[in-house]
Structure 1
Amino acid sequence: MKLMDQIWNMARANKKKIVLAEGEEERTLKACKKIIGNGIANIVLVGNENTIREKASKLGVNLDGIEIADPQTSNKLQTYVNEFYELRKKKGITLEKADKIVRDPIYFATMMVKLGDADGLVSGAVHTTGDLLRPGLQIVKTAPGVPIVSSVFIMGVPNCKYGDNGLLLFADCAVNPCPDENQLASIAVSTAETAKKLCGMDPKVAMLSFSTKGSAKHDLVDKVVNATKIAQKARPDLKIDGELQLDAAIVRDVANLKAPGSDVAGKANVLVFPDIQAGNIGYKLVQRFAKAEAIGPITQGFAKPINDLSRGCSFEDIVNVVAVTAVQAQG
């Protein structure tokens, strides 16, 4: 069974309510038809109700069983405004300013998640990652003990012996441009947890570098070495090792030469890249050259699940991200 089939089944087993902030967007409406038809999640669409219904009708999308939340007319608006004001008044936000901000669909949807009116949020088909992360960090904030939000791609590589029979997680490929050693350690721990919860893996986390166990000397290597120590100290129950070159991380013969005795080298199924340039290039190389399925970016680290979409996404991509978000919302 493919990973996405497993995630769909997990989502169905404990159905959650996911809010889609771009309710007027055509791909989002097409995705709703498949989400509802397959019982993946309950859906809330945010936007102008008349516009949503008109577009849905043209697309042949039945909105029965789908909730529509219009920020301009919702009876929850004032509650959300008051709550946002309380959260941000120390930053100089006035009630008047709060009212204007919360009417924005992404802010409105984020307030729904904050106050428990939805279990998770998906957006990004027409908005940037920053548009989504900003209200998420202001309102939902990070989970206890997690200093930063990060991202992960689940990579399914066909006919591959590396990772867990071709299944690997790559982080961080989309959020943090140049994490410091503490942030890198946090990314490693968050990604290990994602591997367990979403993929049912026993995570083996490789902290990647251009050096393996001191083979090169550089400040960039020191960052990875220090991040590894921080992550190992924070979570001694997890298998985390570094610094490792990519071949030492996934190829057993190379690992035996370069990192003998490591419980991760040669067996890694979670790859933590030293910065976003390496991570973004790495996942796209594997996706294109190896014809891998790339699920993500999946956001990790928020107190409640919030996930981003690529602006070039298909409606099928939206369905899959909603399923992932629903499973994250199950805890």
Structure 2
Amino acid sequence: MYITGIGRGDGRQVVELGVMDLLTRQVDRVGLFRPLRHADPGSPTGYRTDHAADLLRGRYRLDLPPSRLYGTTYEEAAELQAESGPDELVSRLVERFHDVARDHEVVLVLGTDFADTNLPAELAFNARLANEFGSSVLPVVGGLGHSPESVRAEVRNAYQAYHDLGCDIIAMIANRVAPGDRAAVARPLNESAPIPVYALPDEPALSAPTVSQVVEAVGGEVLLGDADGLARDVRDIVIGGAMLPRFLEALTEGCLVLTPGDRADLIIGSLAAHAAGSPPIAGILLTLDERPSAHVTALAARLAPGTPVISVPALSYPTATSLSALEGRLTGASPRKAEMALGLFELYVDTAELTRRLSVSRTERVTPMMFEHELLERARSDRRHVVLPEGAEERVLRAAEVLLRRNVCDLTLLGDEEVIRKRIADLGIDLGLDAAGPGTPSANPLSAHSLAANPLSAHSASAHSPSADSPSADSTDALGPDASRPAGLDPARPARARVVDPSTSPLRERFAEVYARIRAHRGMTVELAQDVVADVNYFGTLMVHEGLADGMVSGAVHSTAATIRPGFEIIRTAPGASIVSSVFFMCLADKVLAYADCAVNPDPDAEQLAGIAISSAATAAQFGVEPRVALLSYSTGTSGSGADVDKVRRATELVRERRPDLLVEGPIQYDAAVDPTVAATKLPDSPVAGRATVLVFPDLNTGNNTYKAVQRSAGAVAIGPVLQGLRKPVNDLSRGALVTDIVHTVAITAIQAQSL
């Protein structure tokens, strides 16, 4: 697959990232090749940093050293072409390409960058390489600053040029198109073009530099600030010259304040505004090589911990001028921008159609990355709404940003709104929340704020304005309190988030009445229920019960009991489910297994164990794992006896009685369940032994220790626990959950909700 362009400024790295993501969903061994790279004698490596290749190698764990990843340098190519002609150059690059191709199922080729290349007929050169490599071609045309007519003409010209040169063009992409012009570009082209044409709108946040990139560009010295602060996007520059009252009016969200270092009033005023969240700034750049006094610095550090304060020796005007041309870039150090880029690609490119046109056959082997991709894709395909009770927790907020940027689901964050907004500002993340302050009235009793219309560009005016090409910004009915399930989950618009404070929400009274009715047999009154439902886990569970959310995920800072007890009381078990239990999806190097029950039931009896096995088989099937159930014990078949073995044997019999269609074996030892060689000796005629995919442990002690041992010792990715048996999905997190764990659990919750 050869991605190329027709000139500079097309932003094709977004497309390269999106296509690599598509390929790694389908196959295990994806290669990467860039025919030409830039030399840089002044750098330690001798080459200019290739941010695009470095990002793809790191994010998708590509085991390709630079010696194989690149063909040659532009300088060496020009010299070889001058001495021996273009055929010799192409021949050498083809040889280097095949060195990568023979070890991979598919190779993504990154074409030349049309920047300081000194290549004659560069478009034709890319076309010839693609043909010689046997690659399909995906040309990208830049639309920044061009009218719809101009972009359409460029796309047609590019298609004709590559077509006339014999290329197999599978699609065309117009990138960085003005958001309001997207439909005017794509629709006429798709009506006449023989291939799909996709138009991606320009996303200013992708080209916004981070504070750390600003520091690098101006040679600044960081006086205050932490890693989170330096990772903030700089969306605007505000030069401080006015007196404080007027200056505060000029501040914008995500701005970099540029002021002489002796203006203590502006320094403290900016940081105070940030601390109050009105508005949160990216940081402060002090010019003239002036440093604030120790007292001012100490106050600044206390006012807004983590917010960068940077010193540069230059004057304000030349510093501002140098920054005006600075654009951000996608790098391995900016995973948030990569998530934003993927979300943009997935929202505006028909990924299912493009995957079909890529003609890549899916491999039978399922890697952890492929399983994780599948979770996000399935959740995104029928987007649901998930409530997160731990709205101020850093890991939850970082996961929320990923979920929104990838358009996985809509979210409600529970907690004190001022605290959550300040935490978001301090972390430098963007959830697309509107800029209104706490207490703003709203027609929707669920929250004081409507869902932001576009979390991908919260600072862009176009993100909040309805147009013919985008959904209406009026989303007050998106999670209406009387809906049987949230309305407005249109996959053609970006995912959205809102903040709800249970203690002040108008729904508190309604939820108190509902909870009092459900728990009346326990003596619950509406007055007592008022306090109970103010708890974030009870409030979130009631949102799910009342159809205001499709599922809930909690547990990052709450115990398992605090997370799932409201579910037992309010949502209760599903029809046909005898017990609530859990499954972990264990992603090994080449397959995915389901482990149950490793989180909920300490010592299930035979009846309960059978219920766990049946539920786990259904959960495994729901997530694409063909269920072959092994009920584990320290004995295989009839070789052992005793109460523990008899329990497993009886559970196996019950499963066979209730679900004769299921492939089940038990009692069976772990090695006989998963190792074909051992199975051939111990249970040679079993359809499950050696091939088990659902492993049911006899008790919590065994299950919990085994999953952790496999996770840590074998390097497996453990996704879960996934609760099963409730009427509606509520899932628990480990208190040590990482951001990726939270993302996966929320995606699983959304998928569970799709089947209800």
Distance 2:431 2:670 in 1: 48
The count of corresponding residues between Structure 1 and Structure 2 is: 324
The DSSP-based 3-state class of the residue aligned with 1:122 is strand
Q: Is the 8 A contact 2:583 2:720 kept in 1?
A: yes
**Displacement of 1:62 after TM fit?**
2.4
Distance 2:411 2:387 in 1: 6
The DSSP-based 3-state class of the residue aligned with 1:263 is coil
Which structure is higher in RCO with an 8 Å CA cutoff and minimum separation 6? 1
The DSSP-based 3-state class of the residue aligned with 2:552 is strand
* Identity %, equivalent residues: 47
Partner of 2:554: 123
Partner of 2:205: none
Partner of 2:425: 57
Distance 1:267 1:30 in 2: 38
Which residue among 732, 738, 744 is the counterpart of 1:314? 738
Q: Is the 8 A contact 2:387 2:411 kept in 1?
A: yes
Task: Kindly provide the CA deviation profile for residues 176-222 of structure 1, in whole angstroms up to 9, marking residues without a partner as x.
Answer: 11011111001101110111101x12200000011111101101000
The higher radius of gyration belongs to 2
Distance 1:7 1:79 in 2: 34
Letter in 2 for 1:228: T
The DSSP-based 3-state class of the residue aligned with 2:722 is strand
**1:29 matched to 2:397:** yes
Task: Kindly provide the CA deviation profile for residues 144-196 of structure 1, in whole angstroms up to 9, marking residues without a partner as x.
Answer: 111211111111111xxxxxx43211111111110111110011011101111
How large is the RMSD of aligned CA atoms in angstroms?
A: 1.1
Q: Is the 8 A contact 2:541 2:552 kept in 1?
A: yes
- Structure 2: 5+ residue stretches without partners: 1-24, 26-369, 433-495
Which residue among 633, 637, 646 is the counterpart of 1:222? 646
**Displacement of 1:61 after TM fit?**
2.5
Distance 2:508 2:607 in 1: 38
Partner of 1:203: 627
Partner of 1:9: 377
TM-score w.r.t. structure 1 length? Answer: 0.95
Q: Is the 8 A contact 2:592 2:625 kept in 1?
A: no
Task: Please list, as runs of the form range in 1=range in 2, the aligned pairs for 1:23-102 lying within 5 A after superposition.
Answer: 23-64=391-432, 65-102=496-533
The DSSP-based 3-state class of the residue aligned with 1:132 is helix
**1:327 matched to 2:751:** yes
User: After alignment, is 237-246 or 248-257 more displaced?
Assistant: 248-257
Letter in 2 for 1:156: C
**1:232 matched to 2:656:** yes
**1:171 matched to 2:602:** no
Partner of 1:154: 585
Which residue among 535, 549, 565 is the counterpart of 1:134? 565
User: After alignment, is 7-16 or 20-29 more displaced?
Assistant: 20-29
**Displacement of 1:260 after TM fit?**
3.0
Which residue among 382, 386, 391 is the counterpart of 1:18? 386
Partner of 1:246: 670
Task: Kindly provide the CA deviation profile for residues 63-113 of structure 1, in whole angstroms up to 9, marking residues without a partner as x.
Answer: 323111111221211111111011001011111111110010100000000
Partner of 2:98: none
**1:181 matched to 2:606:** yes
Distance 1:279 1:13 in 2: 33
User: After alignment, is 231-240 or 82-91 more displaced?
Assistant: 231-240
Partner of 1:286: 710
**Displacement of 1:252 after TM fit?**
2.1
Distance 1:190 1:246 in 2: 20
Distance 2:497 2:663 in 1: 43
Partner of 1:192: 617
Partner of 2:330: none
Partner of 1:296: 720
- Structure 1: 5+ residue stretches without partners: 159-164
Distance 2:753 2:612 in 1: 19
Distance 2:431 2:695 in 1: 41
The DSSP-based 3-state class of the residue aligned with 1:118 is coil
Partner of 2:689: 265
The DSSP-based 3-state class of the residue aligned with 1:84 is helix
Distance 1:170 1:325 in 2: 17
The DSSP-based 3-state class of the residue aligned with 2:727 is coil
Distance 1:82 1:298 in 2: 30
Distance 1:45 1:58 in 2: 17
**Displacement of 1:275 after TM fit?**
0.5
Distance 1:63 1:242 in 2: 48
The DSSP-based 3-state class of the residue aligned with 1:216 is coil
Distance 1:235 1:23 in 2: 41
TM-score w.r.t. structure 2 length? Answer: 0.42
Distance 2:681 2:402 in 1: 49
**Displacement of 1:231 after TM fit?**
1.2
Which 4+ residue blocks in structure 1 deviate beyond 3 angstroms?
A: none
Letter in 1 for 2:509: Q
Q: Is the 8 A contact 2:404 2:431 kept in 1?
A: no
Q: Is the 8 A contact 2:587 2:716 kept in 1?
A: yes
Q: Is the 8 A contact 2:593 2:625 kept in 1?
A: no
Letter in 2 for 1:51: V
Distance 1:316 1:156 in 2: 14
User: After alignment, is 245-254 or 9-18 more displaced?
Assistant: 245-254
**Displacement of 1:13 after TM fit?**
0.2
